[in-house]
Amino acid sequence: MITLILAHSDNRPEPGSVVLKELRDRSRDLGAACQLVACFAEVLVHHQGQEKLVRWAHGAEQRRRPDLRGFTAGLGKDWDAVMVGLTSRTVRQLKIRKTGLRKSRQSHGSTAGRRARPS
């Protein structure tokens, strides 16, 4: 089922598309989840940026699904890196930015954003 939902409609085999349509027709929640997954994929694949992602996150939060709310909360924790990933086509820039952020925090003695190590 997950494979059917995650596959782009152009890459989904015909029998899978029929089964997924029948399931979506039976369950509003599944239909909404499929739509959210497709929209998120569109934002990622086409590097559509912050405005589209904010709208997507707002829609996901309104669905009141704990899994989606947790996912959107995770995006918010590292929003700058997410934005670089969406607006840049190179992973290298993301690595450079995250490394620079860590070095900046270390040189200023800041512990904000760092996870505490277990004792």
Q: What is the pLDDT of residues 57-88, one digit of tens each?
A: 888 888 877 888 888 888 888 888 888 777 76
CB 101 within 8 A of CB 118: no
**Sign of dihedral through CA atoms 47, 48, 49, 52?**
negative
pTM greater than the 0.85 cutoff: no
Q: Enter the tokens of residue 104.
A: 């900046």
pLDDT tens digits along 12-44: 888 878 888 888 888 888 888 888 888 888 887
CB 69 within 8 A of CB 57: no
Distances (CA, A) of 65 to 32, 68, 74, 90: 11, 5, 14, 32
111 CB contacts (<8 Å, ≥6 apart)?
Answer: 105
